[in-house]
A = this chain, B = another copy of it.
Amino acid sequence: MTITGRTRLMAILGDPVAPLRSPALFNEAFARLGRDTVFVAFEVPAGELPAAWAGLTRLRNLDGLVVTMPHKEAVVPLLDAFGPVARRTGTVNTVRRRPEGGWEGEMFDGEGFRDGLERAGHPVRGAAILQVGCGAAGRAIAHALAGAGAARLRLHDAAPGRAAALARALTDAHPGLAVAEGAPDTAGQDIVVNATPLGLREGDPLPFDAARLRPPQVVADVIPNPEVTPLIAAARAAGCATVTGRSMHEGQARLAAAWLGIAGWDG
């Protein structure tokens, strides 16, 4: 890859950016596709997003952005248009320049998670699923699981009211779905999902009690780095199949890339 003045730009916006894998993933794809675009990271602290955004939109050779923590909700009021999932969840992880001017946001964390889960051989349709964590990523994931035909969804979040609010939104959007909220009981679940940040930092507690996990239960985690979180390790020790955050991230990147007009990502 040779970067010249003609090379177009894409970027990921977050804080911190050091652990992010998107620059490597996207640049590998650009090299494979012979596309003269470079993907870099822009490290923007939480409170500085509005000023940073006003400046970045002036860069005429910037074609699109991936948006990650802590900006997935904060970027929403700065955009001009939204895809259907962004509208439903109030969160955005990908932004593209509109041909008519302005910027459009869409959210692929949920569909990326579902895509990673299903590519790993675990169909969502008809499954009973426990999901722990109902923040920005969790909301998108629950909507994607509901949209893909999950039979039952049980939600838990340590923050009071968050699981109940998501349960109501899911019931509104998917009238046939059986949604419950309450304790993170893994019994009777086909798939158990961690959508909390627990596991990102060393010494984090498990997001829920893993002692009763048994095959053929599947355990999926959203944390991409470290790839093997304490939860993933515990699930593997119990003999369960696992899907790591890396699969979700690769699914999210694949879908974001297609929406950003990058054809042929999968080779």
Contact = CB atoms under 8 A, between A and B. Distances in A.
Given A52-B55, A54-B51, A55-B54, A24 B43 contact: no
Contacts of A54: 51, 54-55
B4 A1 contact: no
Interface stretch (A14-22, A168-176, A203-211): A14-22
Interface stretch (A5-13, A107-115, A153-161, A179-187): A5-13
Contacts of A43: 59-61
Contact of A51 (B27, B40, B58): B58
Counted per complex, copies of this chain come to 2
A198 interface: no
A48 B58 contact: yes
By Cβ-Cβ distance, the 10 closest A-B pairs, closest first, are: A55-B55, A5-B20, A52-B58, A43-B61, A43-B60, A48-B58, A5-B17, A6-B18, A3-B23, A52-B55
Interface of A: 1-7, 9, 12, 15-24, 27, 38-45, 48, 51-62
